[in-house]
Amino acid sequence: MSTQPTASHFINGAYVEDKAGEEIPVIYPATGEVIAALHAATPAIVDQAVAAAKAAQKEWAGWTGTERGRVLRRAADIMRARNHDLSVLETFDTGKPYQETSVADATSGADALEYFGGLAAAITGEHIQLGDDFVYTRREPLGVCVGIGAWNYPTQIACWKGAPALACGNTMVFKPSETTPLCALKVAEIMIEAGAPAGVYNVIQGYGAVGASLITDPRVDKVSLTGSVPTGKKVYAAAAEGVRHVTMELGGKSPLVIFDDADLENAVSGAILGNFYSSGQVCSNGTRVFVQAGIKEAFLARLTERLKGVKMGDPQDPDVNFGPMVSERQRDIVEGFITKGQEEGARLVTGGNRVDKPGFYLEPTVFADVSDDMTIATDEIFGPVMSVLDFETEEDVLRRANATDFGLAAGVFTADLTRAHRVAAGFEAGTCYINTYNDAPVEAPFGGTKQSGVGRENSKAAIEHYSQIKGVYVRMGDLEAPF
């Protein structure tokens, strides 16, 4: 792989290796082969990365927003120009098909860099007149931000966190998932090439312990995690020890509600996108598909038909549209849920099996007649497993859709305009869809309610989470005091 990074970490503008760290084998999910071996950061590497970010922060924050934005926009251009190579690498890292990675990963990262690059110059405070006196506010960076990534979108996550952080004048130490460590290094390389000063964006590798040591470093001001709810609880608690800012992008078990009057073809498309894109390894997936009685049989029949269009194979082949699970471990976890679904009495409509080829492939799987209390309807599976549940009334489905501790996303398909908005308003979720599913443009806020998260990524809302306001009171006249 010509695009493969040359060392484990990228600190202060250069690749750094320290083989004393625990080995991290990089396994290509499509074959099970080890394609690279990196090393987890030792305490010395963690220290070096945080020190570099700390040292660079004041100068970076001293640049004008226009200057910082220019760097981000240049980085976006470089990413777009290298989209092919970056997509090939993303496919090696994650196993997701090139058909997806070439349109959803480096391109999405570039969108974030471009959007926040454009916004950087417009990050301002305000003026509040109080008679002759006034207050002005300064929107200031938080300082050193730590980003910790999940394995499903390694390039996108590195950019979704890095772009708003840098736009606001922060610096970053990013730790990718140990399962997909390659892509973020390329993002760091590109930042430097685009003109970011050394130390502004650093990447170090490691398992959970490296992430944990970053959070409690006294030089760190903010932690943004993309990961599971159990990890989120640990990271949030550790950040609280130092009263650090957090963004938590966590898991979900989102509802997708399909009413009788929905356009059948669009509803099936939504269910496919919300369950099988990236082989189901998407946090916002609508994995509880509630289908109203009148459309249920037609929905299942058309879905089964459409799933014949799945093409598994070498994910680097642009015709392949369905890849393996990211790891053997994840495949085993998902298989365990499939077995549980069968044991608990759900009806297997299609799929359910391992595929007889090297790599960690699983068939797209659909269960029908799923009840609310079955494990496949309550737990996040993070694989290609759709649960179809029946419902009769709007009131009933909304209550059941919300009966979960998760609140990441939710979707509704219906031709009834007022019902669509009423249901969207009733969903207890941060990211909702009407007659579509899983679109994630950088212009729109993304994030969860309840246990699915704290804060928002993307959109202008992200600026709130990477900056803080200072109010400055200015008195124009004499100051009276009681004595």
Q: Does 249 participate in catalysis according to the annotation?
A: yes
Q: For ligand NAD, which residue of 211, 270, 274, 351 counts as binding (CB under 6 A)?
A: 211
Query: How many angstroms separate the CA atoms of 249 and 227, rounded?
Result: 6
Q: Does 186 participate in catalysis according to the annotation?
A: no
* 208 binding ligand NAD? (CB under 6 A): yes
Residue type, 78: I
* 408 binding ligand NAD? (CB under 6 A): yes
Q: Which one of the listed residues 175, 283, 335, 363 is annotated catalytic?
A: 283
Beta carbon of residue 234, minimum distance to ligand NAD (angstroms, whole number): 4
* 251 binding ligand NAD? (CB under 6 A): yes
* 327 binding ligand NAD? (CB under 6 A): no
Q: For ligand NAD, which residue of 90, 249, 335, 394 counts as binding (CB under 6 A)?
A: 249
DSSP state letters, 407-465: -SEEEEE-S-HHHHHHHHHH---SEEEES------TTS-B--SGGGEES-BSTTHHHHH
Only one of the segments 82-90, 136-144, 249-257, 346-354 lies at the binding site for ligand NAD (rule: CB under 6 A); that segment is: 249-257
* 178 binding ligand NAD? (CB under 6 A): yes
Q: Which is nearer to ligand NAD, 197 or 208 (CB)?
A: 208
* 234 binding ligand NAD? (CB under 6 A): yes
Only one of the segments 12-20, 205-213, 315-323, 387-395 lies at the binding site for ligand NAD (rule: CB under 6 A); that segment is: 205-213
Q: Does 363 participate in catalysis according to the annotation?
A: no
Beta carbon of residue 107, minimum distance to ligand NAD (angstroms, whole number): 17
Beta carbon of residue 209, minimum distance to ligand NAD (angstroms, whole number): 7
Q: Does 464 participate in catalysis according to the annotation?
A: no
Only one of the segments 51-59, 228-236, 340-348, 392-400 lies at the binding site for ligand NAD (rule: CB under 6 A); that segment is: 228-236
Are 191 and 171 contacting, i.e. CB atoms less than 8 angstroms apart? no
DSSP state letters, 108-156: HHHHHHHHHHHHGGG----EEEETTEEEEEEEEE-SEEEEE--SSSHHH
Instruction: Map tokens 């050193």 to a residue.
Output: 144
- CA 42 to chain centroid, in Å, comes to 26
* 212 binding ligand NAD? (CB under 6 A): yes
Are 334 and 362 contacting, i.e. CB atoms less than 8 angstroms apart? yes
Query: How many angstroms separate the CA atoms of 142 and 470, rounded?
Result: 11
Q: For ligand NAD, which residue of 148, 184, 258, 374 counts as binding (CB under 6 A)?
A: 148
H or E segment and range at residue 192: helix 183-193
Query: How many angstroms separate the CA atoms of 394 and 262, rounded?
Result: 13
Q: Which residue is nearest to ligand NAD (CB)?
A: 211
DSSP class of residue 226 equals E
* 174 binding ligand NAD? (CB under 6 A): no
Q: For ligand NAD, which residue of 35, 198, 207, 304 counts as binding (CB under 6 A)?
A: 207
Q: Which one of the listed residues 90, 100, 114, 249 is annotated catalytic?
A: 249
Q: For ligand NAD, which residue of 28, 98, 115, 151 counts as binding (CB under 6 A)?
A: 151
| Closest among 101, 112, 250 to 180, alpha carbons compared | 101
| Closest among 412, 369, 375, 374 to 254, alpha carbons compared | 412
Are 107 and 59 contacting, i.e. CB atoms less than 8 angstroms apart? no
* 235 binding ligand NAD? (CB under 6 A): yes
Residue type, 209: A
Query: How many angstroms separate the CA atoms of 77 and 313, rounded?
Result: 31
Query: How many angstroms separate the CA atoms of 116 and 463, rounded?
Result: 9
Residue span 48-77 as binding mask against ligand NAD, x where in contact by CB under 6 A, dash where not: ------------------------------
Only one of the segments 210-218, 262-270, 366-374, 418-426 lies at the binding site for ligand NAD (rule: CB under 6 A); that segment is: 210-218
Q: Which is nearer to ligand NAD, 134 or 207 (CB)?
A: 207
Q: For ligand NAD, which residue of 78, 142, 196, 283 counts as binding (CB under 6 A)?
A: 283
Are 105 and 87 contacting, i.e. CB atoms less than 8 angstroms apart? yes
| Rg, the chain, Cα only | 23
Q: Which residues participate in catalysis according to the annotation?
A: 161, 249, 283, 457
- By CB under 6 A, name the binding residues for ligand NAD: 148-152, 175, 177-178, 207-208, 211-212, 215, 226-228, 231, 234-235, 249-252, 283, 380, 382, 408, 448, 453
